Amino acid sequence: MTRARLGCIADDFTGATDLANNLVRAGMRVVQAMGVPQAPLDTDADAVVVALKSRTIPAQDAIAESLQALAWLQAQGVEQIYFKYCSTFDSTAQGNIGPVTDALMAALGTDFTIATPAFPDNHRTVFKGYLFVGDELLNESGMKNHPLTPMTDANLVRVLQAQTPSRVGLIDHRVVAQGDAAIRARIDALKAEGVRMAVVDAVSNADLMRLGPALKGMPLVTAGSGVAIGLPGNFDVVPGEDAARLPAPQGLQAIVSGSCSVATNQQVMDFIQSGKPALAIDPLRVAAGKDVTAEALAWADTHLAQGPVLVYSTAEPSAVRAVQAKLGSAQAGAMLEDTIAAIARGLVQRGVRQLIVAGGETSGACVQALGITQMRIGAQIDPGVPWCHAVAPDAPEGMHVTLKSGNFGSRDFFTKAFAHGAT
């Protein structure tokens, strides 16, 4: 069996898949584990990603889970650790990016790491430490309205500095443009100044490919998924199609969506406008104790045989705010995650074997409810979103699943994904 050489810890499930996707595209065979596995890895892989659901939990809990993941990865013999967070640097006022990074640095006995969420393929770029989402600064993008992690400052040096006692610096685009030797020199200079974490500018894949070699041998890398495109070369891996091969898709098709991000709202709209069956979940009926899960599954029973169905709680910001004002944001979020997850499980029990889940937190809840502990990562549908293959108690022969982070995917993603899977 090939020993995994790169060990990754992701702070949410869709983010883990996004990272795995970039590693697969760069030629690594990747297995993603849901939570910290109880047993050693029993399959061939060049990289393994441990997916946590630690983005919005209390910082102390996020630290504890991340350290458990680290210990398991070290026991598998990995040579480098990659702490993956969102390409929009999603964090709460308490962290958890800073606190988890500090804890991993201490456990690894290292005094320097980088931090960059840049992912140019998905229009996330970092310039002079400021994060852009498409043409907008982070704090002017839809992220300012995120239900759990509203982002109100685009200056990542400032955002990260507020989360850590470690000194935070910047490796700016002029240095990155000069290549890995210049980046290494800048790292040495920053270290000499007492800087322990450096935000790195990157506005193009070329920047990330220049950054990659400079990270060779760095015990800990922290980043969004973009930095991963420049790392496999450090492990003598070259791009090839074999890394993405999955069994052929089969069974019924469904989408569940608990994401309220701008892109998901458009994708839900597109699916409805294309005339396909879609059912909206009313959060207030769930809160009132109605058996919305049973209703949704009864509805699905009448449509599933004809093609893909969509069940969603996705809503525009004003509707989300109204629900949150009545129920509280955390309570509404958890309640809807549980409901969507129960519906996903019911759909799989009805023969769905190609399932799209939209929403990071929602994906975590669904994967847990389905009892999926490990997935092999296949080919990319859209940047950051691959099909995956997993065995579940209700699908012992295996099923295809894709976990779509809120703001990822083209407008016609839900339709395109099934067409892609069928080819």
Q: List residues near ligand ADP by CB under 6 A.
A: 147-148, 258-261, 264, 283, 313, 315, 319-320, 323-324, 332-333, 336-337, 359-362, 405-406
Distance CA 414, CA 181 (A): 43
Which residue, 201 or 361, has its beta carbon nearer to ligand ADP?
361
> Shortest gap between Cβ of 332 and ligand ADP (angstroms)?
4
Which residue, 66 or 259, has its beta carbon nearer to ligand ADP?
259
Which residue, 4 or 260, has its beta carbon nearer to ligand ADP?
260
Instruction: Please say whether the beta carbons of 121 and 383 come within 8 A.
Output: yes
Which residue, 220 or 311, has its beta carbon nearer to ligand ADP?
311
What distance, in Å, lies between the first and last C-alpha atoms of the chain? 30
Residue 384: C-alpha distances to residues 75, 181, 190, 281 (Å): 28, 29, 31, 27
> Shortest gap between Cβ of 362 and ligand ADP (angstroms)?
4
Residue 72: C-alpha distances to residues 107, 132, 259 (Å): 13, 35, 31
Q: Which token pair is 414? A: 């839900």
Beta bridge partners of 357: 256, 403
Residue number, nearest CB to ligand ADP: 406
> Shortest gap between Cβ of 7 and ligand ADP (angstroms)?
24
> Shortest gap between Cβ of 422 and ligand ADP (angstroms)?
25
Which residue, 65 or 361, has its beta carbon nearer to ligand ADP?
361
Please identify which residue in the block is written with the tokens 């026991």: 75
Q: Which residues of 312-342 are buried (b: 16+ CB within 10 A; e: fewer)?
A: bbbbebeebeebbeebeeeebbebbbebbbb
Which residue, 227 or 323, has its beta carbon nearer to ligand ADP?
323
Task: Report phi then psi at 278, rounded to 5.
Answer: -140, 140
Which residue, 48 or 372, has its beta carbon nearer to ligand ADP?
372
Distance CA 324, CA 331 (A): 8
> Shortest gap between Cβ of 89 and ligand ADP (angstroms)?
13
> Shortest gap between Cβ of 93 and ligand ADP (angstroms)?
17
> Shortest gap between Cβ of 165 and ligand ADP (angstroms)?
28
